[in-house]
Amino acid sequence: MTLPTRRERVRAATVDEIKTTARRLLVEQGPAAISLRAIARQMGMTAPALYRYFPSHEALLEGLCGDLGDELVGELVRARDALPAEQAAARLVATCQAFRGWATGHPAEFTLMFASARQGGCADAGLADRMGQRDREAARRFGPVFFDIIVEHWRRSPFPVPEPDSLSPELRGQLERFTGVLHLPVPVGLAYVFVSGWVRLYGMVALEVFGHLDFALTDVEPLFQAEMAALAAQLGLPLHQPTD
C-alpha cells in the first residue's frame, strides 16, 4: 500500500476528466457524439493522445459505464441508509424509487448501461463483442443490492414466500445455486420473490425510459407507486406511499 506518485495522481485526474467529458457529450448530444476527436477537442488535446489512457474507444465507454455504475450504486445505498434499518421494507421501496429516479433523471446513461445485448446465448458466441456489450456486470451489481435489502427485511420480520415444492425442480435448482453462492441461509422462495420483483422493477423503469409505455400512460409515476404498494404488501408491510 504505497502512496500514489505525483505522476499517478495527474494521470488519474486526466482519466477522470476524459470520462467526465465523455459523459457530458453523451448527455448533451447523445451517444453518437462520444467520439475520441470530440472528447479531445473539448479537452484541448488531440485524439491520439487519448490512447495513452484507453486502449480503444470501446474501452473508454466501458470505463465510463463503470463510473456510472458506481454512481448508481451510491445513489441506491444512500437512499437505503436514509431510513433506519428497522424499516427494511420501507428501505426497499425507497431504494426502488431511487433506482427509477436515477434512470429517469439520466436516461442517456441508463440506456448506455442497460440496453446492450447479452454476452452468450447467441448462436455465435462472439457476436456480443460486436454488439454494444459495455458493462457485463451492470445488472450483476444492482440486483444484489436489492437482494441484500430483501434478505435483511426477511430476517427481521419473515413474511410468507413460496414453498420450495411450488417451484419447478429446474427453477428451484437454479435459485438454490444462486443463494448458495452467496452463502445466505434463506429459503429459495425468497430468491424467487427477489427475481420476480427485480424483473418488475427493471421492466417498468426500462419501458418508461425507452418510451415504450406512453402508448398507454402519459405519466408512469402513478403506476410505479401502485406497483410499489403491491410490493410492500407482498413483503407483509402495507405501506402508505408518501405523495412526494
- Binding positions for DNA, rule: CB under 7 A: 5-7, 10-11, 14, 34-38, 40, 44-49, 51-53, 55-58
Closest approach, Cβ 67 to DNA, in A, equals 18
Report the residue number, 3 or 216, with the smaller CB distance to DNA: 3
Closest approach, Cβ 92 to a copy of itself, in A, equals 17
Pick from DNA, a copy of itself, none: which does 170 bind, CB < 5 to 8 A by kind?
Answer: a copy of itself
Pick from a copy of itself, DNA, none: which does 70 bind, CB < 5 to 8 A by kind?
Answer: none
Distances (CA, A) of 44 to 17, 35, 49, 211: 12, 14, 11, 36
Closest approach, Cβ 43 to DNA, in A, equals 9
Could you give the CA distance from residue 242 to residue 244 in angstroms, rounded to a whole number?
5
Pick from DNA, a copy of itself, none: which does 5 bind, CB < 5 to 8 A by kind?
Answer: DNA
Closest approach, Cβ 44 to DNA, in A, equals 7
Report the residue number, 1 or 32, with the smaller CB distance to a copy of itself: 32
Distances (CA, A) of 204 to 97, 112, 137, 196, 199: 11, 17, 20, 12, 8
Closest approach, Cβ 22 to a copy of itself, in A, equals 15
Pick from DNA, a copy of itself, none: which does 137 bind, CB < 5 to 8 A by kind?
Answer: a copy of itself
Burial class (CB in 10 A: 0-12, 13-18, 19+), 28: exposed
